[in-house]
Amino acid sequence: MTGLWGNRDFRLLWTGETTSMLGSMVATTALPLVAVVTLQASTFEVALLTAVAWLPWLLIGLPAGAWVDRLAKRPVMLLCNTVSMAVFGSVPVVAAFGALTMAYLLAAALLGGVAKVFFTLAYRAYLPALVSDGELLEANAKLQGSESATQVAGPGLAGLLAQAFGPVSGILADAVSFGVSVLCVRAIRARETVDPGERAPLRSQIAEGLRFVAADRYLRSLITFGAVSNLALTGYSAIQIVFLSRTLGAAPGLVGLVLALGASGGVVGAAAAGRLAARLGAVRAWLLCEVSAAPTLLLGPLSGPGWGLVPFGLALFGVCGGVVAGNVLVTTFRQQYCPPELFSRVNSSMSIVNYGSIPLAGVLGGLLGEAIGIRETLWAAAGVAILALPLLAPYRKLRDFPVRAAGRPPRPQPQPT
């Protein structure tokens, strides 16, 4: 094997994360299905599952970034996946005893969200310790590509499991996938260097990350666009299963199939990101992806029963393709641009705004779905996504992202393993 596939540690990271993401994609569909089919939850309660899963970014995102910057990333990742395995593994056990409630499901989503905050911050900071700067775009494309592939397989697998063994079986599959990820991460040999010297108080370290983001015009623009875009996309996705299942009358297996076909756009987007960047420039490629994705959401509310589900699948295909390709490019930019010793704090400072809008979107999606109707809420979310596009204006004259922040020295390059 050559290139990144010849890097043993990257292969292990890729294998563990791909398996874990497949389980998480199954659970993303299984949790709402359990709420809708087993617990007869309301539209608001289903949307609340999305909200509580992302709420930890808003509550602990900033201190989590500072803590992760102080620690070796691999042990943090191991601990987070172990906690997630235990949390989601408890759900089918409780269900087997007939004690599963909506409150327990919400608590599991919240605790899993806390573990995800720490894992995501550590994982994104750990990748540059495994690959060189020149390999980061390819590494992110491979990871995003496999993540998108799991988004294709996950909903379909969740639907099949729900049809055969009941919706809760998908959550059990998620717990098992976290166990596989633990084994893979444990086998990684690379260790990043953590400065053991005297550290500033936690509050000062948090402030340092916030100041870096606030003073940088490129990062400020990313935050603003990301927050508004996530508000629209999450509001849309928080009620899509209710729309497909209740409004259009689709069976769980068909719901999974529609979501899987739509998510296949992410595989195409991840594969195309590098080629688009090479041909157009990274910024121009990113702008093209974002501008192309948002309007496709307008197809979703046009959907109907039976073959009328096709427009919804096309809407998901278009938005997944554009968003995933854009994420590959923007994630690579941040990993190259931000100082390694500040990366988790910078990432958490941005994420508290970007991801902090997601719980709000989940709640708003549920409230609007009950107040004005599911289809009307999808129209509103699509409109917000389109209105966010002018926020990209500061990038319209750039061809490529800057390689590193002013004054930041080149980082040491990892050796192949």
Q: Taking the CA atoms of the chain, what radius of gyration do you get in angstroms?
A: 20
Q: What is the dihedral of CA 270, 326, 113, 130, to 10 degrees?
A: 60
How many beta carbons lie within 10 A of that of residue 378, not counting itself?
A: 28
How many beta carbons lie within 10 A of that of residue 264, not counting itself?
A: 19
Asked if 189 and 13 count as a contact pair (C-beta separation under 8 A), the reply is: no
Question: Token pair of 64, please?
Answer: 């989590």
Distance CA 398, CA 389 (A): 16
Three-state secondary structure string covering 337-353: HCCHHHHHHHHHHHHHH
pLDDT at residue number 2: 64
Distance CA 286, CA 268 (A): 14
Distance CA 364, CA 378 (A): 12
pLDDT at residue number 406: 46
Three-state secondary structure string covering the chain: CCHHHHCHHHHHHHHHHHHHHHHHHHHHHHHHHHHHHHCCCCHHHHHHHHHHHHHHHHHHHHHHHHHHHHCCHHHHHHHHHHHHHHHHHHHHHHHHCCCCCHHHHHHHHHHHHHHHHHHHHHHHHHHHHHCCHHHHHHHHHHHHHHHHHHHHHHHHHHHHHHHHHCCCHHHHHHHHHHHHHHHHHHCCCCCCCCCCCCCCCHHHHHHHHHHHHHHCHHHHHHHHHHHHHHHHHHHHHHCHHHHHHHHCCCCHHHHHHHHHHHHHHHHHHHHHHHHHHHHHCHHHHHHHHHHHHHHHHHHHHHCCCHHHHHHHHHHHHHHHHHHHHHHHHHHHHHHHHCCHHHHHHHHHHHHHHHCCHHHHHHHHHHHHHHHCCHHHHHHHHHHHHHHCHHHHHHHCCCCCCCCCCCCCCCCCCCCCC
Question: Which residue type, as a one-letter code, is found at position 167?
Answer: P
Asked if 372 and 240 count as a contact pair (C-beta separation under 8 A), the reply is: no
> Does the domain at residues 3-189+202-395 carry the CATH identifier 1.20.1250.20?
yes
Q: How many CA atoms are closer than 13 Å to the CA of 354, on its beta-carbon side?
A: 17
From first to last of its 417 residues, the chain has per-residue pLDDT tens of 667 888 899 999 999 989 988 888 888 778 887 887 777 777 778 778 877 888 888 888 888 888 888 888 899 999 999 999 999 999 889 988 888 888 999 999 999 999 999 998 888 888 888 888 778 888 888 887 787 778 777 777 777 787 778 778 888 888 999 999 999 999 998 777 666 555 667 778 888 888 888 888 888 888 888 888 888 888 888 788 888 888 888 887 788 788 878 878 888 888 888 889 889 998 999 999 998 888 999 998 888 888 888 899 899 899 888 988 888 888 888 888 888 777 888 888 887 777 777 777 777 887 888 888 888 989 999 999 999 888 888 788 888 887 765 445 445 555 544
Instruction: Tell how far CA 84 is from the center of its chain.
Output: 16
Phi, psi (degrees; rounded to nearest 5) at 160: -65, -45
pLDDT at residue number 195: 63
Distance CA 41, CA 370 (A): 13
All structural domains of the chain with their residue ranges: 3-189+202-395
Helix 217-238 to helix 343-354 angle, to the nearest 10 degrees?
50
Of 146, 336, 167, nearest to 251 (Cα)?
167
pTM exceeds 0.85, yes or no: no
